Structure 1
Amino acid sequence: MMQKKMYIDGQWVDAESGRTTEIIDPGNGRGVAVVAEGSRDDAKKAIAAAREAFDYGPWPNTPASERGRLVCRLADLIERDREELARLESLDTGKTVEESRWDMDDIAGIFRYFGGLADKEGGEVISSPIPDSTSELVREPIGVCGQISPWNYPLLQASWKMAPALAAGCTIVMKPSEITPLTTIKVTELAEEAGFPKGVVNTVLGPGSAVGAELSESLDVDLISFTGGIDTGKKIIQAASGNVKKMALELGGKNPNIIFADADFDLAVDYALNGVFFHAGQICSAGARILVQDDIYDAFVEELHRRISRIVVGYGFDEKTEMGPLISAEHLAKVEDYVRIGQEEGARLLCGGKRPDDPALEGGFFYMPTLFADCENDMRIVQEEVFGPVITVERFSTEEEVVQRANSTVYGLSAGFWTRDPDRIKRVSRALRFGTVWVNDFNVYFTQAPWGGYKQSGLGRELGRMGLEEYTEVKHIFQNSNTQPVNWFGK
């Protein structure tokens, strides 16, 4: 079984307390690694190291081109070790190894994108109203960044934070989820190999209630970046008020996928499945809430039922598997509870709604792909983030009705709709209040486009140029080369 430590100030160390945590493979319930379990004391040491490296080390003043070179070097190492990283990601999360390979390709691209952007965002000269003067806006690294990544896409979400922060010249303390830390530990090893100065990259393992709380509360942390649930996000907002630190929060979503009667039927069905069942629905942008227009409602539900019933559930390393397990026994129980609530609320369960019958899967945290029809807007399974392989389908009649219903959520992360009508595309794209709106597609993202949400889906943006800007402060430098006396006071 693998034994892993934390990385603080350029050293691999055990937890101060000596405590460890066993990492479980969700596909069979067996242990795959033992890792150090950090506490507030470990987080404080990492923050102090990052503070020292930012305030007195060479990193913030390293030429941007050199920072970019190191970030791109890290991308090269991720590509080199793609297979090992994919294996670790599937051991951690249970997702299919093929999906993990896709993730690794994305992750290498993210580091390469921000490495290339590092020396392209220095600032700008603006017009000054004062004669013989210059006015310049410069972007400077914000400082020490606490970064808390989730368990569903451990390294992908960590890369969205690490790559722009390092490219901008910040120092970081990364806290991966305590149940899926293996790929983040591996990439920290690769960052050491790439040659980042000590104290620039720190990785502390342990629970959010200790390590995450310290990062959020510390007066020496200048920015906190978190991806996870609303309740934890609200706690971080409160904790971060101590020094009014900058925040970048992505807090999930309940994402509508709207199917108009004039849509390409087969494509809409196919993408409805793709929008939910990757990684067993444990995706913040999952289109688990499907709204279908009257004319095609029955046929659409029937085709969903037919295809969902054929999804192959199994262990992530089995090449025949299409959908793997949920992350943990605790999360499996949460999804089961939501399915029970849906039935009590009157939704019509068409398939799934149970654990698989296959004895070979008994040790893992598997749940069958589940379809609810005839759902209503006010049902909890429609409004709340189930975060599992569960689709709800609602019927609608008019464009105005469906836009109003789609927007009637506390979330605003992403939405999609399907239609051939160009005028409707313009109207609905503008009317939906979500950070990303997909038209005749679903769940596509790319590094160059910003990602984030409206309303309670979070604050700030990741990816794209805006993702880099989150890790900078803007400074206005004004210089007068011909200053004249004002003679206002006591002349």
Structure 2
Amino acid sequence: MSTKTLADWQQAAQAIQIDGRAFINGERVNAASGATRTTYNPANGQALAEVANCDASDADRAVAIARATFESGEWSGMAASDRKMVLVRWAELIEKHADELALLETLDVGKPIADTVDVDVPSAVRTTRWTGEAIDKVYEQISPTRGSSLGLITRMPLGVVAAIVPWNFPLSTTAWKLAPALATGNSVILKPASNTPLTALRIADLAIEAGLPKGALHVLPGPGGSLGEHIAMHADIDGLTFTGSTPVGKQLMVYSGQSNLKRIFLELGGKSPNIVFPDADLEKAASAAALAVYYNGGQTCTAGTRLIVQESIHDAFVEQVIEAAKGWAPGNPLDPNTAMGPMVDQSQCQTVMDYVEIAKNEGANLAYGGNTVMADTGGHYHEPTIFSGVNNQMRIAQEEVFGPVLSVIPFKDADDAVAIANDSIYGLAGAVWSQNINTAHKVAERVRVGTMGINNYFGGDITVPFGGFKESGNGRDKSMHAFEDYTELKTTWIEFD
């Protein structure tokens, strides 16, 4: 935990030098066209950096270098124990530059500095270090054959892997992708979100300092539409991992089918159910319900935006959640006491405002909030918002808002709660609150999501896989299961004389 004050962080923000150039072949370079894109600080709307606006020519150059590096074996052929040490050194350098990276993330995304210092940067360090430490513990297999044969089952790197990461968790999500992709011997083309590329570019510098070969990692800021499509269609890219919206994920799968059938791994949207029974620790559940939807301003794919509460406690529990929501009032993200910062940009703030009006028009009861605030700052702030008595068929209950808007839905009994929870195109995360282990476990087992908490929300760490069911995606980030996404199984059959 940092001891810096608001004044300290403001001074650091004034002094920081930002390099927005792309990262190709181990060096910072301008886009081939010379084009740049201005990024803005969500907290005040002011210009933050000029960032390289890469296009197809930059991608083609990076892919060619990545392919040559992969084929050379300089990285792909390196012993797992040696790749491990590069990742461990990389984690140490990320940790060494923690304050710089935390500040970049806050300025770029609008995340509270307390979160970037205590959550985002440590998450990237843990992911990189743990994945590095794990890679030389992966054993391969020998099949049970007759004595005159030997069946070897090995894991081979895919080759050149593209990673497209979102704007809401640029640093931690990037680490989830880069660490296992590189640990397994691939070369990687990383496309950060065009409006939040700064920490991805900076940790690429640190990767080279840690000993990663220059051609093994490239970072290309640029538009998701044209550059993202070119990468997804590229015939010399073997795999693509993406975190973002479900519509874009579906389009990437189409591109795969139209090109070379590159393997696609997707972590997409969510409309996660948070189920509360009357026998729960209601004070703890209410506090967690606020955390589940207001953390990162609700700009979280796993946000618990559907609070499903048993009818007998609905009204009283809504009041408890309102009290908890008051602790999430938006503030200056450079203030260590701020719990929730701004929306990432005006467009996202407008989306939240639109959904508030949609909910009102659908007949939902606005129990708390519902307004933009702090307009005088020039930033894009929206206060915590709660709609009670929501019907699960309302758009506010079915569509991903990606903002600090909570829908409270009453249920009759456990079967009804499960039916409501599963009545969604998504299946990413959720939670159930009950002191009865039978109720809690049976409900958790029946809810169709990739991660389910019992008497907690946002549970888990790098040791467990993360991903979704249904239209929340496929594949898994984190844990040793992530290695499966970045490798091909190969059988070698030997016959003896």
Q: Which range, TM-score by smaller chain?
A: over 0.9
- Match of 1:199, SS state, is helix
- 1:413 match: 428
**Does structure 1 residue 395 correspond to structure 2 residue 410?**
yes
**1:81 is the counterpart of 2:97:** yes
Contact 2:160-2:238 at 8 Å conserved across structures: yes
Q: Is the Cα contact below 8 Å between 2:114 and 2:337 reproduced in 1?
A: no
Matched, 1:218 2:234: yes
Tell me the alpha carbon deviations over residues 69-93 of structure 1, each in whole angstroms, 9 at most, x when there is no partner: 1011100000000000000000011
1:329 maps to a residue whose letter is Q
Name whichever of 463-472 and 418-427 sits farther off.
418-427
Determine the C-alpha separation between the residues in 1 that align with 2:33 and 2:313. 60
* Count of matched residue pairs: 479
| Equivalent residue, structure 2, for 1:301 | 318
Native 8 Å contact 2:114 2:338 kept in 1: no
Q: Which residue of 1 aligns with 2:9?
A: none
Read off the aligned partner of 2:138 and give its amino acid letter.
E
For 2:330, give the aligned amino acid: V
Deviation at 1:359, TM superposition (A): 5.5
One-letter amino acid of the structure 1 residue matched with residue 445 of structure 2:
R
Counterpart CA distance in 1 for 2:22 and 2:132 is 25
Residue from 288, 310, 316 that aligns with 2:333: 316
**What's the counterpart of residue 388 of structure 2?**
373
| Distance in 1 between residues matched to 2:139 and 2:238, nearest whole Å | 20
Residue number in structure 1 paired with 2:246: 230
Q: Any conservation in 2 of the 1:289–1:393 contact (CA below 8 Å)?
A: yes
Aligned partner (choices 195, 207, 225) of residue 179 of structure 1: 195
Instruction: Give 1:309 shift.
Output: 3.3
Give the alignment partner of residue 109 of structure 2, picking from 88, 93, 101: 93
For each residue in 1:241-264, what CA deviation from the matched residue of structure 2 results, as whole angstroms up to 9, or x when unmatched? 121111110012100000011111
1:467 aligns with 2:482: yes
Alpha-carbon deviations, 1:183-221, whole Å to 9, x = none? 001101101211211210111110111221111101100
Structure ID, larger Rg? 1
Identity of aligned residues (%): 38
Amino acid at match of 2:48: V
Question: Which stretches of structure 1, 4 residues or longer, exceed 4 Å deviation after superposition?
Answer: none
Displacement after TM superposition at 1:426 (Å)? 2.9
Mapped contact 1:312–1:320 kept (Cα < 8 A): no
Does structure 2 conserve the Cα–Cα contact (< 8 Å) formed by 1:44 and 1:214? no
Tell me if 1:69 matches 2:113: no
Aligned to 2:492: 477
Instruction: Describe how 1:428-439 pairs up with structure 2 within 5 A.
Output: 428-439=443-454
Helix, strand or coil for the counterpart of 2:323?
helix
- Return the offset for 1:320: 2.8
Give the corresponding residue for 1:34.
Answer: 50
Structure 2 distance, partners of 1:77, 1:14, is: 25
Q: CA deviation at 1:310?
A: 4.4
* Pairwise CA distance, 1:174: 0.3
The counterpart of 2:170, out of the listed 148, 151, 154, is 154
Partner of 2:158: 142
Give the match's secondary structure for 1:268. Answer: helix
355, 362, 366: which one aligns with 1:338: 355
| Contact 2:375–2:381 (CA under 8 A) maintained in structure 1 | no
How far did 1:360 drift?
A: 4.3
Residues 121 and 139 in structure 1, CA contact (< 8 A), matched pair in contact too? no
Q: After superposition, what is the alpha-carbon deviation per residue over 1:82-141, rounded to whole angstroms, capped at 9, x for unaligned? A: 00000000001111101001210111000011101111124112211x332211111111
CA distance in 1 between counterparts of 2:327 and 2:78 reads: 55
Structure 2 equivalent of residue 446 of structure 1: 461
CA contact (8 A) 1:309 1:351 kept: no
> Which of the numbers 317, 327, 330 marks the counterpart of 2:344?
327
Match of 1:488 in 2: none
Q: Is the 8 A contact 1:347 1:375 kept in 2?
A: yes
Deviations along 1:22-75, one digit per CA (max 9) or x if unpaired, are 111000001111111001111111111111111124111111110111011100
Structure 1: gaps spanning 5 or more residues? 483-491
Contact preservation (8 Å) 2:329, 2:383: no
Deviation at 1:464, TM superposition (A): 0.7
Aligned amino acid, residue 29 of structure 1: G
- CA offset at residue 479 of structure 1? 1.0
From 14, 17, 23, the counterpart of 2:33: 17
SS in structure 2 opposite 1:420?
A: coil
- Once the two structures are superposed, residues 148-198 of structure 1 have per-residue CA deviations (whole angstroms, 9 ceiling, x without a partner) of 000000011110000001100000000000000000011011012112112
In the alignment, which residue of structure 2 is the partner of 1:487?
none
Q: CA deviation at 1:7?
A: 1.2
Partner-residue secondary structure (3-state), 2:409: strand
Corresponding residue of 2:13: none
Deviates more, 1:318-327 or 1:411-420: 318-327
Q: Is 2:114 aligned against 1:105? A: no
- For residues 190 and 88 of structure 1, what CA distance do their matches in structure 2 show? 15
Alpha-carbon distance between aligned partners in 2 of 1:18 and 1:316, rounded to the nearest angstrom: 32
Alpha-carbon deviations, 1:387-446, whole Å to 9, x = none?
A: 000111011111101101100100000111001112212321221111111111001231
2:235 match: secondary structure = coil
2:287 and 2:267 map into 1 onto residues whose CA distance is: 27
- Whether the aligned pair in 1 keeps the contact of 2:329 and 2:384 (CA below 8 Å) is no
Equivalence for 2:275: 258
- The one-letter code sitting in structure 2 at the alignment partner of 1:56 is S
Quote the residue 2:260 is aligned against.
243
Question: Does the aligned pair in 2 maintain the 1:122–1:139 contact within 8 Å?
Answer: no
Q: How far apart, in 1, do the equivalents of 2:255 and 2:327 lie?
A: 46
RMSD: 1.1
Q: Give the whole-Å Cα distance in 2 for the aligned partners of 1:260 and 1:291.
A: 9
Q: What corresponds to 2:62 in structure 1?
A: 46
How far is 1:8 from its partner? 1.2
Contact preservation (8 Å) 2:26, 2:205 = no
Alpha-carbon distance, 1:468 to partner:
1.4
SS state at 2:410 partner: strand
Q: Kindly state the Cα deviation for residue 456 of structure 1 after the two structures are TM-superposed.
A: 0.5
Q: Tell me the alpha carbon deviations over residues 251-296 of structure 1, each in whole angstroms, 9 at most, x when there is no partner.
A: 1210000001111111100110111111101000000110100121
The corresponding residue for 1:116 is 133
TM-score, length-scaled by structure 1: 0.96
User: CA offset at residue 307 of structure 1?
Assistant: 2.7
**Structure 1 residue 319: deviation in Å?**
2.6
- Give the Cα–Cα distance (whole angstroms) in 2 for the partners of residues 359 and 346 of structure 1: 28
State the distance in 1 between where 2:472 and 2:206 align.
32
